[in-house]
């Protein structure tokens, strides 16, 4: 995605994109000449928002692209991304009428993403040349993080198992001078990660937990935890085929935290970054964990299993306990955790949960500014009773609430494993775009990480 943007001075020739409205289109066309007016009349172009018209050059004038906007600018900040597929291959640049060229350029680049690992790459590219009012370095950092997350989610489980996911984490940290360890197989029991082991033990590909760090120990501690379930069959509570179709994306939480981590490290933010990812496959075998089993946890809580298809919160429980032992300044976990979140808010608006009112407000403000939508949901304590168990400290799913409040009760379960950290936020993301829209090609998606990068950049722009 990064390579679809360039400095205007580095491009020999580019076609201007001119913003027009329905009201000022006649004036713009008068400036361009009679041929341009006739061309738009023939093609029925009225300047309506989100529509465009390529006007060929004539009388010594070069071609231009007219793009319909509203009076205040683009109909949405990423609307320009709609041009990535519709314009002829070549180089373009923003002319007048775009109040926020940086957001427009970001939307164009985000739309340019294609997952081409298994097909011949297309050489029919569209490029956008930008001026000095666009911070290409920062946009490039964001684009690289988003691309990393999307690529990982789009990679099928036959090529991205627990080992490969852990290796991807190691590679990103090694590229920035970070280091860490991976705990594999039976060693998970020795190191006290019993729930990670239980969820992943039925797969022929051994479960593991990746734990990597970067930055100075004296800087504020920012810890990211991601759900790394590379494929979720549902376990013994086997999913039907229709529900299994997208389960390669069940490691979307880990992909997103790794994309965010790459942004933080590339920007050299003054934080001590830590990323913890349990990498497992929830499979079916004779040694799979069962409904009714009672698991021990790193926290010391006994956990009754209500349904083996709610495995993500189990591996996150052990990982969050490890993170919380260090009492970081800021703890984030991201997971493709519940279908209930999609029922409540749909695929494009992930919920987040936190006890911290100031943090919640900051996230909401940053999400709107970054066009990276998020919506706060409540950690409603009265629903904790839905997780009661008669035989263990807690049940990991809602067994007494008739199926109500699935995303909330999942977040409440996770909150039992975060005791020391005050600034904790849980994000129940979808990690997928079902239908293409500007800035969001269909397929694996980075959700929330552009907002969180801005938030962390602002909070820790100076060493504390």
Give DSSP secondary structure letters for 184-232.
ETTHHHHTT-HHHHHHHTTSSS--EEEEEEES-TTSPEEEEEE-EEEEE
Marked catalytic residue, from 2, 8, 114, 239: 239
pLDDT at 123: 72
Q: What is the mean pLDDT of residues 100-108?
A: 92
| Res. 160: pLDDT tops 60 | yes
* Catalytic (active site) residue 272: no
Task: Tell me the pTM.
Answer: 0.95
| Res. 410: pLDDT tops 90 | yes
Marked catalytic residue, from 313, 416, 450, 459: 313
Q: Report the SS3 class of residue 328.
A: coil
Position 463 confidence tier, pLDDT thresholds 50, 70, 90:
very low
Q: What is the mean pLDDT of residues 171-184?
A: 98
| Res. 58: pLDDT tops 90 | no
pLDDT at 13: 85
In terms of Cβ atoms closer than 10 Å to its own Cβ (0-12, 13-18, 19+), residue 293 is middle
Determine which of 38-47, 91-100, 303-312, 346-355 has the lowest per-residue pLDDT on average. Answer: 91-100
The per-residue pLDDT for range 296-323, each reduced to its tens digit, is 999 999 999 999 999 999 999 999 999 9
| Res. 133: pLDDT tops 90 | no
Q: What is the mean pLDDT of residues 428-446?
A: 96
414 or 73: which carries more pLDDT confidence? 414
Bridge partners, residue 303, by sequence = 295, 394
Q: What is the mean pLDDT of residues 120-146?
A: 91
> For the chain, what is the mean pLDDT?
94
* Catalytic (active site) residue 239: yes
Residues whose CB falls within 8 Å of the CB of residue 412, separated by 6 or more in sequence, listed in order: 379, 380, 381, 383, 384, 387
Q: What is the mean pLDDT of residues 395-414?
A: 91
pLDDT at 122: 74
pLDDT at 464: 40
Express as a percent the part of the chain with pLDDT over 70: 98
Domains and CATH numbers, the chain: 2-134 (3.40.220.10), 140-459 (3.40.630.10)
pLDDT at 60: 57
Q: What are phi and psi of 53, to 5 degrees?
A: -145, 125
- Classify residue 440 by its DSSP letter: B
**Residue 72: enclosing H or E segment and its boundaries?**
none
Position 375 confidence tier, pLDDT thresholds 50, 70, 90:
very high
Q: What is the mean pLDDT of residues 353-367?
A: 97
Q: What is the mean pLDDT of residues 100-128?
A: 90
pLDDT at 59: 60
């Amino acid at each position: 995605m990064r390579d679809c943007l360039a400095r205007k001075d580095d491009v020999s020739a580019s076609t201007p994109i001119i913003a027009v409205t329905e009201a000022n289109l006649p004036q713009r066309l008068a400036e361009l000449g009679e041929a341009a007016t006739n061309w738009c009349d023939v093609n029925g172009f009225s300047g309506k928002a989100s529509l465009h018209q390529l006007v060929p050059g004539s009388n010594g004038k070069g071609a231009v692209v007219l793009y319909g906007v509203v009076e205040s600018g683009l109909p949405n900040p990423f609307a320009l991304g709609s041009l990535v597929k519709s314009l002829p291959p070549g180089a373009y640049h923003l002319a007048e009428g775009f109040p926020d060229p940086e957001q427009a350029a970001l939307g164009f680049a985000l739309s340019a993403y294609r997952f081409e690992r298994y097909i011949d790459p297309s050489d029919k590219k569209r490029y956008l040349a930008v001026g000095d009012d666009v911070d290409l370095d920062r946009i490039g950092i964001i684009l690289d993080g988003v691309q990393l997350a999307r690529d990982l989610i789009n990679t099928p489980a036959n090529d991205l198992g627990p080992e490969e996911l852990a290796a991807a984490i190691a590679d990103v940290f090694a590229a920035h001078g970070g280091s860490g360890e991976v705990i594999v197989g039976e060693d998970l029991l020795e190191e006290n990660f019993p729930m990670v082991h239980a969820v992943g033990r039925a797969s022929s590909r051994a479960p593991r937990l990746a734990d990597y760090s970067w930055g100075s120990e004296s800087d504020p501690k920012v810890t990211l935890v991601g759900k790394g379930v590379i494929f979720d069959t549902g376990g013994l509570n086997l999913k039907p085929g229709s529900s299994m179709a997208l389960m390669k994306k069940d490691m979307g939480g880990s992909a997103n935290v790794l994309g965010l981590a790459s942004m933080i490290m590339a920007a050299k933010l003054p934080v001590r970054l830590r990323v913890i990812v349990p990498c497992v496959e929830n499979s079916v075998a004779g040694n799979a964990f069962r409904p009714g089993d009672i698991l021990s946890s790193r926290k010391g809580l006994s956990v009754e299993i209500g349904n083996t298809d709610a495995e993500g919160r189990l591996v996150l429980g052990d990982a969050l306990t490890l993170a919380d032992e260090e009492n970081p300044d800021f703890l984030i976990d991201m997971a493709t955790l519940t279908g209930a979140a999609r029922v409540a808010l749909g695929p494009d608006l992930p919920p987040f949960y936190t006890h911290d009112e100031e943090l919640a407000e900051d996230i909401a403000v940053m999400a709107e500014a970054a066009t990276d939508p998020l919506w706060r949901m409540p950690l409603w304590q009265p629903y904790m009773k839905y997780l009661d168990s008669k035989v263990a400290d807690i049940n990991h799913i809602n067994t007494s609430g008739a199926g109500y409040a699935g995303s909330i009760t999942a977040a409440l379960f996770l909150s039992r494993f975060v005791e020391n950290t005050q600034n904790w936020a849980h994000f129940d993301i979808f990690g997928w775009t079902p239908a293409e829209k500007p800035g969001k090609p269909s397929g694996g998606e980075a959700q929330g990480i552009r907002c969180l990068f801005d938030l962390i950049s602002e909070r820790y722009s100076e060493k504390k």
